Amino acid sequence: MTKPWLLTFLVMAAASPMAAQRNRGPEGGTDFGDAPVPNVPYDGRFTFVRIKFEVGLQGFRGRRDLKWDHDYPRAERHFTKILEELTTVQPRVDASNIFALDDPELFKFPIAYLSEPGFWQPTDREVAGARAYLQKGGLMILDDFVGNQIFNLENQLRRILPGARMIALTKEHPIFDAFYRIESLDYVHPMFGQPSIFFGVFEDNDPAKRMLMIVNYNNDIGEYWEWSDTGLFAIDLSNDAYKIGVNYLVYALTR
Q: What is the pLDDT of residue 248?
A: 98
Question: Phi/psi of residue 26, each to 5°?
Answer: -70, 165
Q: What percent of the chain has pLDDT over 90?
A: 81
With CA atoms as reference, report the closest residue to 131 among 156, 108, 149: 156
d(CA 147, CA 194): 8
Phi-psi sector, 150: left (phi>0), alpha (psi -120 to 50), beta = alpha
pLDDT digits (tens, 9 = 90+) for 162-190: 999 999 999 999 999 999 999 999 999 99
Region 230-243: what's the mean pLDDT? 96
Output the CA torsion 177→179→180→181 (10° steps).
20
First to last CA, the chain: 25
Alpha helices in the chain (DSSP H): 6-14, 17-23, 74-86, 124-135, 149-160, 221-226, 235-253
Average pLDDT over residues 60-66: 66
Q: How far apart are CA 32 and CA 71, in angstroms?
A: 10
Alpha-carbon distance of 176 to 170, in angstroms, equals: 9
DSSP character at residue 219? B
pLDDT per position as a tens digit, 78-134: 999 999 999 999 999 999 999 999 999 999 999 999 999 999 999 999 999 999 999
Cα 104 from Cα 56, distance rounded (Å)? 24
pLDDT given for residue 57 in this prediction: 56
Beta carbons of 24 and 74 less than 8 angstroms apart: no
Q: What is the pLDDT of residues 198-218, one digit of tens each?
A: 999 999 999 999 999 999 999
Among candidates 101, 36, 30, 96, which has minimal Cα distance to 65? 30
The residues facing 50 across adjacent strands are: 98, 113
Per-residue pLDDT averaged across 228-253, rounded? 96
To the nearest 10°, report the CA torsion of 232, 236, 241, 246.
Answer: 130
Burial class (CB in 10 A: 0-12, 13-18, 19+), 2: exposed
**Using CA atoms, how far apart are residues 192 and 246, in angstroms rounded to an integer?**
24
Please calculate the CA angle 99-115-128 and round it to the nearest 5 degrees. 50
Distances (CA, A) of 239 to 6, 14, 57, 146, 215: 8, 15, 35, 21, 19
% of residues, the chain, pLDDT over 70: 83
pLDDT value, residue 1: 46
